[in-house]
Structure 1
Amino acid sequence: MLSDFLSLPPQPSANAARPETSGARRPWWPLARRVARRTRLLSCWVPLLLAPQWCSQLPATQPLAATLTTESTAPQPDPLPALIRALLDTTAAGSPEAADAQLGLAAGPDVRTFYGQDCIPGWLPAAGPSPTAALRLLARAAEFGLRPTDYATPRLLALHDSLARNTPGAPPRLRQQARFDVALSDAVLRFMRDLSRGRLRPYTVSAAEKAAGRLWQPAPVLRAALAAGTVPAAMLAGQPTHREYRQLQQALAHWLARPPHPDSATFHRVQYEHAALNLERWRWNVLPPDSDYVLINIPAYELLVVAHDSVVRRHRVVVGKPETPTPTLSSQIRSFTLAPDWHVPRSIATKEILPHLRDDAGYLARNELALYDARGRQLDPYSVDWSRVTAKNFAYSIRQGAGCENALGNVVFRFANPYAVYLHDTPMRQYFDRPDRALSHGCIRLQHPLQLAAYLLRREGRPVRLPSEEECARQPRPRDVRLRRPLPLHIRYATCTAENGHLRFLPDIYHRDEAIRRALFGPVGRPRPVAQGGQPAAL
């Protein structure tokens, strides 16, 4: 028993005479005492030795050493989630915005959504394939019209290299790992957001997006990609997919792969910024995923008919002057009118025709125009005292009947829009030979319009015969043709496009590029990459 063991007599001193052992059994307790002293487990070792019935209660498969070391070998909690949670804590800063500013986060809300309540690291081990692939793609941000420095790529690379050199498990390394994880998540999420909707315009979710379930959220997309090992694809998934954006981005990447001439570094930077700001524009004005559509690019003075990702028709156009610019919009061509009447817009009637009428009421007859009152009754222009008529009290409408000299020509294509603009023929066809064709009041004049009308009918499988220009002139009677399959129409403003894999630079006829360029790349002035004459440069 333990009490008997603890009451044993003391061990004789070294000077005491040893008892004779020959022929007699040596006592066991000195040996036991020495073993207990060496292991410093006397209080438990001796009872175990003296009480075999207690030892028999231990599981047969669990060694004694295991029972003594269970607590020391228990798994320790991962400290990284706690360190990440501390980094993202907004309590001390007072608000998430202030905390983001202190930590230098550009995508703070997305970062917090990415980590959630558990703050599970996303990029560790830092030497794994996911962070390496993400860093490589961030370093290629220029290929997408973005700046690698916006995503702290040099700092992240330095921290990544530092983690590879530090001793695993050391406290400084753990803190570096937490900082690296949060910083890389912020850079990747910002890259995904900028690539999806642009750097300059704030993003507001529309009711239509919510209703259709089209809300794109980068944080869950990235977390799922980390689990699946598809990080690069997820980082690029949010960018526009339509033909014009894709071709421009690919042409820019190809152009950047060629080293610039040493004497043209400044011009090379100008051209890069020119292409980049137009990629930004396409992110603001993404085209719907239509397989067939009409695209009018104002600076190119051109209309393209696109079918199944290929250009099937190309027409020259005349667009609005800088004083009366053609608006950008999206709509559908639903009908066209052959031999149309022209109802003169009020702005043209008051600003351009009224001054002529004050001088000479015969101006209308000479230009095959007719005057009508508010009730639609035709009036004699000589019966009006034009000296008393102003733009504010102008209570008339002016129309031009169908015919060769009609401002709309032989056909007008109609599409709903709030600007009262349309696409039409013109009697001034010599304008299509000019390189600079910003000449109209805002409407778009089209070369070979009857060919476009024929295409729209063939697209529907309709055998409708169209009159020739001579027939339209002989029988100027308006005739409306409604389409069974409306064709989407997009009017855009892009001063850099891609043509056969090469960048094509176009004139900034409405002077809209510089404000965007300054917002993206800074206020330093740059020379213009396109000649004032309007001729595009292809590279």
Structure 2
Amino acid sequence: MKKLIRSLLILSIFVASCNWFKKPPLIGKVLSEHFKNKLYTKFDSVIYDSIFVRKRDSFASHFSNPKVLKAFYQLNGNDPVFVTNFFINGQLDTLQRYLGDSGLHGINPKIFQLEEMKVLLTKLTSNKATDLKQIYPVIADLELLSANAYLNYTNYLRYGIVNPRRVVSRYYINVRRPDSAKMMKTLSSVNLADTLAAVQPKSEQYLALQKAFIAAKDVSTKRVLSVNMERRRWQLPNLGTYFVQVNVPDFKLTWFDKLDTLITMKVVVGGKREKNYDEKWKAYKKSGNINDRPKNHETPLLYSKINSIQANPVWNIPVSIAQNEIYWMARKDPYYLSNSNINVYYKGKLLGEPDTINWTRYPSDKLPFKFKQGPGGGNALGKFKFIFDNDFSIYLHDTNNKSGFRLVDRAISHGCVRIENPLDFARLLVNSPYSYDKLRVQVDLPPIDSTHNSWYVKRMAERADTSKVFKMKSSWFGPKKPVPLIITYFTAWYQNNEIQYCPDVYSHDEQIWAAMKKFR
């Protein structure tokens, strides 16, 4: 009896090793039933697997996310998931239709290898194969090209083609990008048609730009629209419906509340960087000479929240301005600092007589001093500084020189954003008649509410008292809740029932267009 059991066990292992009585893989069953062709019942997973792996490895260098695709298929035993699930129900045809229409988004259908996929789908649909050796490579190629095209297409429409933080100079907004977990989830979709429909951009701005792009005949206009459609595909932080936007190339600040505009005003932004900046930067890095360092005052693109207002602000003068401007003005005019209400600090201590400093003893790139301009009429920040967290010492502020707002090209600051109507902006931020009257009095303006006139009378009396030196002091105010702020860059957008355009002041369009080259 034991010998019989042993023999049966050996026989069962042998049969299993030879794949006898093994059910055909699901792809074989699906195709045999669909075509009513018994050929597919002989589908051999081992042979297909070897062909698939070889194809996958050969395609890897041409795929955008080869590691994700490899992980997806390893998880699925290298089965032809897309062909198995989406060939019979026509969803591979749906995928190809979407890919064929990608030109409506400014994306060239050729980058998805659409023509190759069409040929492969036609071969499989024709059901003319007489030997499975003819069909294995067709299924493997169609599977891999479909999965890759589907993944790329959904990524491009969901997140944009390029990562702006890698392409655009001084772009610091944390845009969401596809990660491996998100891409695996996309590849695991049970309905391609639903996913493809869901990733289509649906915002009013995008659809208006797209409509204009489709209708445009002029090549340069289509280019501008294509770049701005790409910007609208980027996944920005959730701003909500109540936020402040500074659009750098339009030199405009707008405060949005849902569909309403609470306020809009002109702004002055950072100056353009020097011509041939990249080449000059390389030369500077090589020489190490501060005088070789090219200037770049472009306002950083960022997202933050306005959390406070400083009335009668102190200007903490940035090192770059101290080295390139303040230092040379002080050398030229020994009374420049005191006349400009600029205090000098050495190791954190205020120097009493900065006019006596012998500036020729110090090279401009190794100054041991820090500079602060006190509050008052000559302060470069004017009467208000609007503060938000960032790593670049950037803020919105008033200015003591209003002439810049009359210019057409207002890219002339050191990087901060000067706003045209700071008092109106402050009123919206504090959002309190009481606080607003307090703020007005601090900058020597009478309150709106006459019951607060005593504050103003006292302030004016202090200023008029010649027996005491009146010292201007900074004071702080804050919004009831921090207000989201985005400093962004659009050269085309939808407004007042038409597309608005503005010049590409920092040449960001050129940077994005160059990065999109192989996709258009």
> So what's the TM-score if we normalise by structure 2?
0.70
Q: Distance between the aligned counterparts of 1:83 and 1:183, measured in 2?
A: 20
User: Cα offset for 1:317?
Assistant: 0.9
- C-alpha distance after superposition, 1:332-371 (max 9, x if no partner): 2111111212232232222112212212212234434344
Q: Distance between the aligned counterparts of 2:165 and 2:352, measured in 1?
A: 53
User: Cα offset for 1:302?
Assistant: 1.6
Tell me, which stretches of 5 or more residues in structure 1 are unaligned?
1-72, 261-267, 525-539
Equivalent residues in 2 for 1:17-36, closer than 5 Å: none
Task: Look up the match of 1:521.
Answer: 517
Paired residues of 1:295 and 1:305 also in contact (CA < 8 A) = yes
Q: Does 1:226 align with 2:188?
A: no
Q: Distance between the aligned counterparts of 1:418 and 1:507, measured in 2?
A: 27
Task: Look up the match of 1:137.
Answer: 98
Q: Does 1:339 align with 2:312?
A: yes
Q: Distance between the aligned counterparts of 1:346 and 1:183, measured in 2?
A: 53
Tell me, which stretches of 5 or more residues in structure 2 are unaligned?
1-36, 167-173, 273-295, 447-458, 464-471
Q: Alpha carbons of 1:165 and 1:82: their partners in 2 closer, same or farther (altered >3 Å)?
A: same
Task: Look up the match of 2:149.
Answer: 187
Q: Distance between the aligned counterparts of 1:120 and 1:437, measured in 2?
A: 57
User: Cα offset for 1:165?
Assistant: 4.5
Q: Alpha carbons of 1:226 and 1:113: their partners in 2 closer, same or farther (altered >3 Å)?
A: farther
Equivalent residues in 2 for 1:249-268, closer than 5 Å: 249-258=206-215, 260=217, 268=218
Give the residue type in structure 2 aligned to 1:445. R
Q: Distance between the aligned counterparts of 1:461 and 1:119, measured in 2?
A: 68
User: Which residue of 487, 490, 493 maps to 2:489?
Assistant: 493
**3-state DSSP class of the match of 1:361?**
coil
Paired residues of 2:269 and 2:418 also in contact (CA < 8 A) = yes
- C-alpha distance after superposition, 1:93-148 (max 9, x if no partner): 8xx655524xx544433434444215143245646442232222212223334222
Task: Look up the match of 2:116.
Answer: 155
**3-state DSSP class of the match of 2:484?**
strand
Equivalent residues in 2 for 1:76-225, closer than 5 Å: 77=41, 79=43, 85-90=49-54, 98-101=58-61, 104-115=62-73, 116-117=76-77, 119-123=79-83, 126=87, 128-167=89-128, 171=132, 172=134, 176-201=138-163, 217-225=182-190
Paired residues of 1:143 and 1:252 also in contact (CA < 8 A) = no
Q: Distance between the aligned counterparts of 2:151 and 2:504, measured in 1?
A: 33
Q: Distance between the aligned counterparts of 1:130 and 1:521, measured in 2?
A: 30
- C-alpha distance after superposition, 1:476-524 (max 9, x if no partner): 5321013341122222233333334644333222233334322322699
Q: Point out the structure with max Rg over C-alpha.
A: 1
User: Cα offset for 1:428?
Assistant: 1.6
**3-state DSSP class of the match of 1:230?**
helix
Paired residues of 2:80 and 2:140 also in contact (CA < 8 A) = no
Q: Distance between the aligned counterparts of 2:361 and 2:497, measured in 1?
A: 60
User: Cα offset for 1:179?
Assistant: 3.0
Q: Distance between the aligned counterparts of 2:44 and 2:409, measured in 1?
A: 62
- C-alpha distance after superposition, 1:305-343 (max 9, x if no partner): 233365433221101111311112222211111121223
User: Which residue of 348, 351, 355 maps to 2:328?
Assistant: 355
The alignment covers a number of residue pairs equal to 423
Equivalent residues in 2 for 1:419-430, closer than 5 Å: 419-430=392-403
User: Cα offset for 1:284?
Assistant: 5.6
Q: Does 1:471 align with 2:435?
A: no
* Identity within the alignment, %: 23
Paired residues of 2:151 and 2:186 also in contact (CA < 8 A) = no
Q: Alpha carbons of 1:330 and 1:177: their partners in 2 closer, same or farther (altered >3 Å)?
A: same
Give the residue type in structure 2 aligned to 1:272. K
Paired residues of 1:82 and 1:119 also in contact (CA < 8 A) = no
Q: Alpha carbons of 1:461 and 1:180: their partners in 2 closer, same or farther (altered >3 Å)?
A: farther
Equivalent residues in 2 for 1:29-48, closer than 5 Å: none
Indicate the larger mover: 472-481 or 438-447: 472-481
Q: Distance between the aligned counterparts of 1:85 and 1:271, measured in 2?
A: 49
Q: Distance between the aligned counterparts of 1:378 and 1:446, measured in 2?
A: 33
Task: Look up the match of 1:10.
Answer: none
Give the residue type in structure 1 aligned to 2:196. P
Q: Does 1:299 align with 2:261?
A: no
Q: Alpha carbons of 1:193 and 1:363: their partners in 2 closer, same or farther (altered >3 Å)?
A: same
Q: Distance between the aligned counterparts of 1:311 and 1:87, measured in 2?
A: 60
User: Cα offset for 1:163?
Assistant: 4.5
**3-state DSSP class of the match of 1:504?**
strand
Q: Alpha carbons of 1:311 and 1:150: their partners in 2 closer, same or farther (altered >3 Å)?
A: farther
- C-alpha distance after superposition, 1:215-272 (max 9, x if no partner): 7523433433428x52423544xx7x8xxxx344312320233262xxxxxxx33333
Q: By percentage of residues, which structure has more helix?
A: 2
- C-alpha distance after superposition, 1:378-417 (max 9, x if no partner): 4223322222233244333333332233211111111121
Give the residue type in structure 2 aligned to 1:505. Y
Q: Distance between the aligned counterparts of 2:216 and 2:348, measured in 1?
A: 69
Give the residue type in structure 1 aligned to 2:270. G
Q: Distance between the aligned counterparts of 1:493 and 1:256, measured in 2?
A: 19
Give the residue type in structure 1 aligned to 2:486. H
Paired residues of 2:334 and 2:356 also in contact (CA < 8 A) = no
Q: Distance between the aligned counterparts of 1:307 and 1:214, measured in 2?
A: 32
User: Which residue of 489, 504, 509 maps to 2:500?
Assistant: 504
Q: Alpha carbons of 1:500 and 1:129: their partners in 2 closer, same or farther (altered >3 Å)?
A: farther
Paired residues of 1:295 and 1:304 also in contact (CA < 8 A) = yes
Q: Does 1:329 align with 2:325?
A: no
Q: Alpha carbons of 1:410 and 1:273: their partners in 2 closer, same or farther (altered >3 Å)?
A: same
Paired residues of 2:307 and 2:387 also in contact (CA < 8 A) = yes
Q: Alpha carbons of 1:302 and 1:86: their partners in 2 closer, same or farther (altered >3 Å)?
A: farther
Give the residue type in structure 2 aligned to 1:508. D
- C-alpha distance after superposition, 1:43-88 (max 9, x if no partner): xxxxxxxxxxxxxxxxxxxxxxxxxxxxxx9997473966763443
Q: Distance between the aligned counterparts of 2:365 and 2:398, measured in 1?
A: 31
